[in-house]
Structure 1
Amino acid sequence: MNTNPRIALIGECMIELQHRADGSLQQSFGGDTLNTAVYLRRELGAIGSVDYVTALGDDSFSDAMCRQWADEGLGLERVQRLPGRLPGLYCIQTDAGGERKFLYWRNEAAVRECFTTPAAEPILAALPGYDVVYLSGITLAVIGEVGRERLLLALIEARRRGAKVVFDNNYRPRLWASVEAARAAYRPVLAEVDIALLTEDDEQALFGFADSEQVFAAYPEIAEVVLKRGANECLIRCNAEHFAVPALKVERVVDTTAAGDSFSAAYVASRLKGGSPAEAALAGHRLASRVIQVPGALIPR
């Protein structure tokens, strides 16, 4: 293991509104890769560095995000601040069983220009210098076609220099013009992935795979494929070996927001610290089981 890994996570953080039973709203911040970045930083402890790569506005909410990220120990050097722009916003509504529904306002979010501005040039040039580069399907959706093309070139160069690319599929149909457009964006990125953290339901919705066997068969070139299956056991294929790791049961699910994000963070942290795939999956289940018992994406430290 690299004892001081440099990790970059790419994506979007939004203003989060948590809808409470009494009708009130609690404001915080969240986004899939940001959630993973925070939990990864916590899980790694004093090991390595974790930078977040995104674009924000020059407003007070963006200021507050940066303060919170710095307080969590995230590096902000790759965060662009675009004058006159704003971050996106979403509201979480949860039912009695803890299942969530999201309402989004993100069409004008600053992150859509993350890799199209002149300020993006040094950021893209810096990405191949990291040991791990992490992104998601939501990242691909929000950065747009030009951003995807430029990011893909950086990922190819990063791997050429020895970096590991980690990808969480996180498919959200509403972010894409069509399922065909999403497939066209995912496929070239999946060809450059070293660790794929895939949610089974998303794979079925995006590519129509009927079962886990079809998912694994679709990615023979990816060295490590982790199939997340909610409350069921996760399935792993790593260098031709297969593992099944049961999830941890909890008595009461409060909010499933960031369950997959936190699993991914603990999984990657464990692997970076020398854990086996099975040990990493157990760490992922352990953290996710804590997260789903607390409202919101980020639980208190």
Structure 2
Amino acid sequence: MSTQGLFASCETRPRVAVVGDIFVDISAKVHRLPEWDRDTEADYIEALPGGSALNQARQLHELGVTVKFFGAVGEDAFGKMLLAHVEGQGFPTELVKVLQVPSSICFVLSGPSDRGFVSCYSTTRAVGPEDLDDRTRSELQSCDHLHVGGYFNLPGMMKPGFTDFVRSCRQRGMTVSLNTQSDPSDAYTGTDGHILEMLPLTDLLFVNEREQHLIAAAVMPDGSTSPEALCQAYPELTLVVTRGEKGCQVVKCGQETLDVPTKPALHVVDATGAGDAFLAGFLSRWLSQPRGARNRAVLGDASELGQALALCCIGKKGACVKPVTLAEVQAE
């Protein structure tokens, strides 16, 4: 798997429109969970840019992909801090919507053996297709590919207007990818079964094993939960299932399942953002090839690049502060 010359020139760089969630992650390293009416000391507390879609878009941008990003923050100090951070790295934020609600925040309490989360979904729930004004739609639809990230964090987008937007992107020749993340409601169908409208419009679906199982169980009429059954129901879909230390699996109707093992992680510092790094690596390699040439070999190569980025990500602290670079991958 070569990382040299991902894109031959500026003219061959894919243009990716990313629509999805933005969070400010407040991370605290603690040795025990807080108790009511007591203070709990933390080794550190830090604020990081978060949200699956934002971190996937930032990683794509770092890899040389031209990115147009749409999401929402609140008009508050957290939103301003996040935008200042990513703009300082050269990431484009001109399509980010500022809403009159608090920014979405995720408090991450990281303990000796596990983590706990406290989340506010204000902006991710408030943003909807009505926020895609004519200028934003035009900018996003000037791209080659549409990626929707953190789908289950975006109930406000689960409306006919967004389905129409995605369908319009496909009619313009754009390919479409979808990353769901886990569903806070545990329904795994989206509002009013919206995911049933999205799956036929999706070329690439990125999920982990648990998400794949739960989505299949929710949408398959016969209760089948296998990735093969899901792809048979949606024959245009390529399913990319991340499997942690077991690597990943790529499934497509009518083709032999592709199992791609990953190298063992020599040291794990922080697993935050590894899945986002994998997705960006996979997608950048997949998009670097002409549509008719995205064969089994390309899927394997894309998986390997994604896994290489994920390994770099978990091997350093604060991977969400600055995305993984190709130089870091080459140095491994």
Task: Confirm or deny a common fold (TM above 0.5).
Answer: yes
Q: Which residue of 2 aligns with 1:142?
A: 154
Residue 200 of structure 1 aligns with which residue? 209
Following superposition of structure 1 onto structure 2, how do residues 178-217 of structure 1 map, counting pairs within 5 Å?
A: 178-179=187-188, 181=190, 184-208=193-217, 209-217=224-232
Q: CA deviation at 1:55?
A: 1.8
1:89 maps to what in 2? Answer: 105
| Residue correspondence of structure 1 range 1-301 to structure 2 within 5 A | 3-21=12-30, 23=42, 24-44=44-64, 48-82=65-99, 84-97=100-113, 99-106=114-121, 108-109=122-123, 112-117=126-131, 120-136=133-149, 138-144=150-156, 148-172=159-183, 174=184, 176=185, 178-179=187-188, 181=190, 184-208=193-217, 209-222=224-237, 224-237=238-251, 240=255, 242-274=257-289, 276-296=298-318, 298-300=320-322
CA positional deviation for 1:292: 1.7
Task: Using the TM superposition, give the Cα deviation of residue 160 of structure 1 relative to its aligned residue in structure 2, in angstroms.
Answer: 0.8
- Alpha-carbon distance, 1:268 to partner: 0.6
Contact 2:247 2:307 in 1 (8 A): no
Counterpart amino acid of residue 164 in structure 1 = T
Aligned length: 289
Distance 2:142 2:152 in 1: 21
**Shift >4 Å, 4+ stretches:** 179-183
TM-score (norm 2): 0.77
Two-structure CA RMSD over aligned residues (Å): 2.7
Task: Indicate the SS of the match to 2:130.
Answer: coil
Paired position in structure 1 for 2:35? none
Q: Which amino acid aligns with 1:282?
A: E
Structure 1 residue ranges without an equivalent (≥5): none
Query: Counterparts of 2:152 and 2:195 in 1: how far apart (Å)?
Result: 8
Q: CA deviation at 1:149?
A: 2.2
- Please tell me whether the aligned partners of residues 87 and 111 of structure 1 are also in contact (alpha carbons under 8 angstroms): no
Q: 3-state DSSP class of the match of 2:59?
A: helix
The alignment's TM-score, normalised by the length of structure 1, stands at 0.84
1:164-218 per-position Cα deviation (integer Å, ceiling 9, x unaligned): 111113122x2x3744555812111111011122222112123335444334434
Cα deviation, residue 30, structure 1: 0.5
Q: Secondary structure at the match of 2:250?
A: strand
Gap regions ≥5 residues in structure 2:
1-6, 31-40, 218-223, 324-332
- Cα distance change on mapping 1:269 and 1:227 into 2, 3 Å: same
Aligned-partner Cα distance in 2 for 1:126–1:105: 29
Taking the aligned partners of 1:15 and 1:296, their CA distance within structure 2 comes to: 14
Sequence identity (%)? 21
Distance 1:95 1:143 in 2: 30
Q: Aligned with 1:251: secondary structure? A: coil
- Do 2:273 and 2:320's aligned partners in 1 also have CA atoms closer than 8 Å? yes
